[in-house]
Amino acid sequence: MKQELIATGRTVEAAVSNGAAELGVEVERITYEVLEAPKKGFLGFGEAPAKVKITFTPRPEDTALEFVRMLLRDMELDAEAELARELTSAGDRLIRISGESAGVLIGRHGDTLDALQSLVNLVANRAEKEGDDSRYTKISVDIENYRVKREETLRRLARAKASQVRKTRKNITLEPMNPYERRIIHSEIQNINGVSTTSVGSDSNRRVIIWLEENGKPTAAKKSELDDGFGESDRAPRESSSSKRRRRRKRPQSGSKPAADTNADPGFETDSRDSADSSAAGTNHNSTEPIEKSFD
């Protein structure tokens, strides 16, 4: 939204500087119109300051920065936000958030940070659209240098899993990732001979498969491998309707003691596939690293 104000000063330059300071922006970011030139007067009489009209039109990144600062204030977080002068490697504008309590905005594997970034881009480009400008400005948000650290972690993961694929000759499916993180995995694997990557799935369940090139490109991961460690292999098996009927028919007559069954859990049937899936998955619920599963 365009901002305007009237500023005064002993000179035109001083008036412009005063107006920029009042708006909290650099002098280079504003335009001005001289309303009244300064008058020197004589012996202190008739002297008049310069008067200028200052106009400031925020850029999308300015709107985004103000939105982030407002959010931090409303959440009462001990954190600050600033707009970086340099662009990211992808050519995006970058807003950095720092502070002791800023970490709560990161979330698991950056999920909360990604949501915040999407909201920031929506706010910034909506304002630009209202100004009849079809340009789209991409803005990245980083907290305490998290994205750099996360990228390093993902690149190490890609190298380690590529080595595992070459050693075991089995494909590995990583946990679901956002497009930014998948691109990091793809780019790192491109530098390793003998292995390649492909993405499978859709929306929030899209994953990267690291595969051995001589085995051929996989088209999909096995359904049993897409549990994220919280699938059927980790749940207690449900008792089927037929097993319930069989159990009722085998119920002992009154006065007789039922045979003790030390191998089964009462009310449930044991399914060997569940235990096999759990062993194959190698799930670690407490791990903060991406979860991986391998399959033939």
Burial class (CB in 10 A: 0-12, 13-18, 19+), 280: middle
Crossing angle of helices 146-168/179-189, nearest 10°?
50
Spell out the residues 6+ positions from residue 231 whose beta carbon is closer than 8 angstroms to its own.
224, 277, 281
pLDDT reported for residue 184: 93
pTM: 0.58
Strand 195-200 versus strand 80-83 pairing type: unpaired
Work out the number of other CB atoms within 10 angstroms of the CB of residue 148: 10
Widest pairwise Cα distance in the chain: 123
pLDDT category at 47 given cuts 50, 70, 90 is: confident
Task: For 116-143, write each residue's pLDDT tens digit.
Answer: 999 999 999 885 555 555 578 899 999 9
- Which two tokens mark 46? 């008739």
pLDDT category at 218 given cuts 50, 70, 90 is: confident
pLDDT category at 180 given cuts 50, 70, 90 is: confident
Closest CA to 141 of 56, 58, 57, 71: 71
Between 145 and 277, the more confident residue is: 145
Average pLDDT of span 265-277: 36
Average pLDDT of span 272-295: 39
Of 17-26, 217-226, 284-293, least confident by mean pLDDT is: 284-293
Between 174 and 253, the more confident residue is: 174
Q: What single-letter amino acid sits at 152?
A: E
Residue 229 in this model has a pLDDT that exceeds 50:
no
Phi, psi of 192, deg, nearest 5: -115, 125
CATH for the 154-233+273-295 domain, from 3.40.109.10, 3.30.1370.50, 3.80.10.10, 3.30.470.10: 3.30.1370.50
Average pLDDT of span 31-43: 83
pLDDT reported for residue 146: 93
Per domain, the residue ranges of the chain are 3-56, 60-144, 154-233+273-295
Task: For 151-161, write each residue's pLDDT tens digit.
Answer: 999 999 999 99
Assign a CATH topology to domain 60-144: GMP Synthetase; Chain A, domain 3 (3.30.300)
pLDDT reported for residue 222: 53
